[in-house]
Structures are given as structure tokens and as C-alpha cells.
Structure 1
Amino acid sequence: NSINHQFHRLARDRSLPVQTMDCIIKKIPLMLETPHFASIAPTQISTSIAEVAAVFRQLYKLSKKMADSEKEEAANLQMEFEWVLHEEVHAVLGQLHTILLECVRRFPVPLCGNDSPLKQDKFVLTVPPEQLKCIVTLTGDCISHADITFKVQRQQNVTHRTSIQNDNPWKLQQVQDAGNHLQQAILHIENIDKDYIFKSSEEVLHVLGCILGCLQRGRSSLIVPRKRTIDDLMKSRNMKSLAPCLPEDLAISFYIQSHKLIFAVYQLSNVHGTMKFDTHQAECSIPWLNEVLVLFTVALQLCQQLKDKICVFSQYKDFSIGSRSQSALSW
């Protein structure tokens, strides 16, 4: 017990793999060269060898058991990976296609070859007490008619009146943009044959990335209106739809934000050489917009969930179709 245990450096090397009995046997003589074993009697050495060998046998059995367990886990993951590529990806794409076609039916304009007539709705946007009032008719992605009256802060005794007529409608570009992105997402899905076999996670992630991009852009088109300067508004083509024209210090705009149509009035003023403007707005809820946004959101969540699952498998670089001798689909 008083002996100072000075083991050979290889006897302390835990990084050497303990995978076979040959490896273990080769290590034992190296251990016997240590000062510790050299100072022990022969009979004691024999006993020590037997004890060391028994320990190594146990370690070998444990190592083999762990290796077998890891192989089984890898095989199960490979089976699940192949099932996801062959079955779940197509199932989710089918669900996405159904959801997006339902979204198409909610749009007020024909999409994806649908020749249904343009939907027409009438809405009233007001801010009491008679500060702003606008009665609009929405036809497809345009305001086909509007009767507009409003007062501005600096001229409360003056009521401005203008209108939009059928022959020169106000274009709601956001609706057209959202519809275009929706159609593009559907085309990405329809371009994949139902019998096509995906061969890697990267291939699936590329497809899902394209679909997600279209859905995100389409949804954002309706939720986040494009920022425009007052100068852009004044010079926009839509301002030419107004009859009669407004004074040079006034501008209006119609835009969509989430499920609402917003009507805004801008009054420009020059304060000490700096151009400033005051804004007043009225809004109303558009039912079909709310339905479209819900379907966009559901499709995005479904697509993102599948992408997250595929990303987990993509961390295993050895996973690909045919990496096992027997297909998981035959089990």
C-alpha cells in the first residue's frame, strides 16, 4: 500500500480504443513494464494479470454493447429519414397545395387559371365627426368607385370632395403582389411529380425554401405596406384617378394593412423652409383579407414544421437514400 504507483504512460492513455481483445492483450505487457509491476513478486504478478484481464474483458463487453446500441439507433434514424423523404414530404406538400388552393378561392381576382368573375364589395370608411368619409367599391384588386369627402386640420371650414370613377380605378398593388407570390408557391408544389423520390435532405430543403419564400413575401405584401414618400404619393399614377384633382398641398392614399383597408389624407405645409405633413386616416375590415391571411399563416407553419424536421436529419451527414443495404420502406 505504501508503493508509489507510477504507471507507464500507455497504461494511462484512455484515448486508445478498447474494441477488440487483441488490443487489450497488447496493452497488458506495456502495463507490466511499469515500476509498480516490476516491484511485485511473480505470484502476485500472475494474480494482477488475471485481475487486469478480467477488467478489460468487462470493458470490452460494455464497449461492444454500446457500439451495437449506437448502430441500432443509427439504423432506426435512417429508416425514419427514408420514410420522411418518401412519404411525409409528399403528404405535407399535398396538404399545402390544398390550403393554397383554398386561399386562391378567397382572393377577389382570378388566379391559377381560375376564370371566376371579379368579386365586388362596398365599404364605408369614416372618422367622426365628418372629418373623413369615404364610400368605396372594391372590384378585384382595384377601387373601382369611391365618393370621398374630408376636412383638414388647418381648414376646418372647408370640405374637400373628390371621387374615383369606373373608367379610371385606383389600383391596389398589394393584392396583385400577394396573388402573384401565392401562384408562385403553388407552381413550386405542382412542379414536383407525385411519384418523385427525394434523395437527400438538401433537395427537400431547397424546395421548402422556395415555397416558404413565396409564402412569406405574399403574406408580407398584405401585412406590411410598402413605404412611400409624400413626393411619390403626389406623383403616383393613382392620384390621377381622382376627379376633380386635389389642391397641390393635399394627397390621399389607399392601402392594405393586415385585414384592413386604410384611407389616408396628407396635408403638406412649409414650416421655416422644411416640408412637413399632417396625416388623418380611416379604416375598415375586409373579411376576405382576414381569411387569406389565416390560410397564409397555416401554410407557413406547416411548411416550417417540415423544414425543421428535415433540418434535424440534415445534421447527420451520412444519411442519404441507399446508405443502408435494405430500404426502410421494405421493413
Structure 2
Amino acid sequence: MDSAELLKEWEWLVRTELTAKLEAIDRHLEECSKKLSPFPIAGAEIRPVLLSSQHQGDNVLCTVTVDGDRISRAELNVRAPGKGGRSLRTTIKEQSPWKLKQVQDSVNHFQRVRDLYASLKSCGHSSQSCLRGCLEGLLGALLQTEAALTLPPNTTAQHIFNNNQKSVLKPELPEDVALYFHISSSLLVLTVLAVTARGGVREMKDIESNSWMGALFEHGSVIYEVTGQLRVSASVPWLAAVLALLRQSLELTQDLLDKVKVFDGVSSV
């Protein structure tokens, strides 16, 4: 294909494909911005989700409201895992929410997505290299926004027990029980750990994973071992909608990038 034909193909791509796909991406990002926010969405109806462990009897029964980057309200009824576990009740109130760092991180990456999209629109009819760079930047930021929600953070039992967010629980849990919330794609996951004090332990082995059974760690100058763990999860509808919008935007951006790459090295564009 000679340079004149390549130029004609490029002009068609910019005039039709680029315009149509940018408009679709813009719609998806605008809808996503209405749901992915660091603050409660004014006027939005956020329904609580139910966390329960049907396969474990009544060990956990909780209603939790995930509003923006926080758990704004929760009623938690938990039987501590392990032998002879006690029944515990605690709450989270709107004035002292439990913050979800993964959602906060996703919001921060999404702000970069919006900035990069604005740059992409401004360079849409300029050179191929400019357009490719903008698309690669947008694709990377979209992937980071998605990954913040889909990749559970690595943490340790010690971190869970030292987490200063446990103070938002009213009443606070006993010293030998802790709970931990995290996001896994569209799921809100609650983990409850129970520990037993151990004496004469010289070598500690805390575990950075999603299963902490048997982990040893120091808390308040005492060595503890994780002797009980249970986990429950439930789907959060607005998180599922956010991930669907992000993936649609990713597919459109990747498709555009692939088509722009075809013109690598073509001097006339």
C-alpha cells in the first residue's frame, strides 16, 4: 500500500473509528464517575448487602452498606471462630465509617483516567505517535483502576490486629478477635480471626496471604497464634457496574490502540 493510500486509511480511522469509540468511552467514563466516588453519592439509593455463612450455621450474619470508599453503616453478629467461640455483636455508624483503601486507590487512578482521556481528545487529530502515546497512557490508567478493585491486598495477621480502624466498631471486639474488610472484584469480603496467646515461642511466622491459620505474631508484647478463621462475602451491585464499565472502556481503548499501531513507522501520519 503506497503512502497516499495509507494516508487515506489513517484519515478514515481518525474521522470514523476514533470519533465513535471516543464517544463510547466518554459515555462509559461518565457513568463510572457517578458510581466510583470517594464520597457518598448524593441522592443515590445504596442498599445494604447481607453477609452470612450458610455453610457454617449462624457464625456470621451482617448487614453492611458500602457507600463510596467507606462502609458507612453495619450491623455485625459474629460467632468467634474456633472451639467455644463466643457470640459477638458490634456496629459501624455513619459518623465513624470503615474506610476501604482499595476503593480510595481506584478513585485516585480513575481521576488520572479522566485527565488522560481529556489529553487524548485534544490530540485526537494530531500525529500517530501522539495518539498512540495517549492511548497507551489511558490503557495503563484503566488497568490500574481495575486492578485496585480486583487484586486483594496482601496483608498479615499482625496488621489486622493492629489496624486502627477497629476503633470504629462499637462496641469494640475483645482483644483476641479481629475482623477485616476488603474488596475482591465486585465482592465485599469479611474475614474474622481469633487468636490464642502463646508462651515461649522464639520464632514467629506471620503469613502474608488470604489465609492466616497458624500465623504467629506479636501484639501488645504478647505472642499470638491465629487459631480460628472464617470468611464470608457478598456482591456489591454498584461495584459490579463499575467493573463492567471499566472493562468496556478497556476493550474500546485496546481496539483503538491496536488499529493505531498498524501505522507505526508511516511518516505521512
Equivalent in 87, 99, 112 of residue 159 of structure 1: 87
2:260 to 276, 287, 310: 310
CA distance in 1, matches of 2:120, 2:231: 46
Match of 1:230 among 134, 137, 157: 157
Q: 1:81 to 1:209 in 2, by over 3 A?
A: same
Q: 1:266 aligns with which of 174, 177, 193?
A: 193
Shift of residue 85, structure 1, vs aligned partner? 4.0
User: Is the 1:92–1:302 contact (alpha carbons within 8 Å) kept by the matching residues of 2?
Assistant: yes
Identity of aligned residues (%): 28
Seen in structure 2, the aligned counterparts of structure 1 residues 88 and 220 have a Cα distance that, compared at 3 Å, is same
3-state SS in 1 of match to 2:267: coil
Give the alignment's TM-score, normalised by structure 2: 0.80
1:293 corresponds to: 243
What is residue 319 of structure 1 aligned with on the other side? 267
Question: Which of residues 106, 111, 116 in structure 2 aligns to 1:188?
Answer: 116
RMSD over equivalenced CA pairs, Å: 2.5
Q: Which amino acid aligns with 2:168?
A: S
Which has the bigger relative contact order, CA under 8 A and spacing at least 6?
2
Runs of 4+ in 1 over 4 A off after TM superposition: 108-111, 192-196
Residues 193 and 77 of structure 1: CA distance in aligned 2, closer, same or farther (over 3 Å): closer
Please tell me whether the aligned partners of residues 261 and 286 of structure 1 are also in contact (alpha carbons under 8 angstroms): yes
Q: 1:255 aligns with which of 175, 182, 196?
A: 182
Contact 2:14/2:124 (8 A) holds in 1: no
Give 1:121's aligned amino acid: R
**Which of 48, 53, 58 is residue 122 of structure 1 equivalent to?**
48
Counterpart contact for 2:120–2:135, Cα < 8 Å: no
Who is 2:141 aligned against? 214
Amino acid at match of 2:84: Q
| Map 1:73-112 → 2, pairs under 5 A | 73-85=2-14, 87-107=16-36
Q: With the length of structure 1 as denominator, give the TM-score of the two structures.
A: 0.66
> Which amino acid counterpart does residue 132 of structure 2 have in structure 1?
L
Q: Deviations over 1:267-324 (max 9, x none)?
A: 234667241424211111111111111111110011011111112211xx24333xxx
Asked whether 1:281 is paired with 2:231, we answer: yes
Contact 1:223 1:258 in 2 (8 A): yes
| Number of residue pairs matched by the alignment | 244
- Is the CA contact (8 Å cut-off) linking 1:120 and 1:140 kept in structure 2? no
Return closer, same or farther for 1:89/1:176 CA change in 2, 3 Å cut-off: same
Matches within 5 A, 1:111-150: 116-117=42-43, 119-128=45-54, 129-150=57-78
1:154 aligned partner, one-letter code: G
- What CA distance in whole angstroms lies between the structure 2 residues aligned with 1:197 and 1:117? 39
Whether the aligned pair in 1 keeps the contact of 2:35 and 2:68 (CA below 8 Å) is: no
User: Residues of 2 paired with 1:140 and 1:307: CA distance?
Assistant: 31
CA separation in 2, counterparts of 1:109 and 1:225?
A: 19
The gaps in structure 1 that reach 5 residues or longer are 1-71, 322-331
> Can you list the C-alpha shifts for 1:26-60, whole angstroms capped at 9, x where unaligned?
xxxxxxxxxxxxxxxxxxxxxxxxxxxxxxxxxxx
Q: What is the CA–CA distance in structure 2 between the aligned matches of 1:91 and 1:268, rounded to whole Å?
A: 57
CA contact (8 A) 2:92 2:169 kept: yes
Between the aligned partners of 2:245 and 2:124, the Cα distance in structure 1 is: 27
Q: Report if aligned partners of 2:120, 2:131 keep a CA contact under 8 Å in 1.
A: no
Any unmatched runs of 5+ in structure 2? 205-215, 217-224
Displacement of 1:130 in angstroms is 0.9
Local SS of the residue matching 1:96: helix
Cα distance in 1 for residues equivalent to 2:99 and 2:49: 16
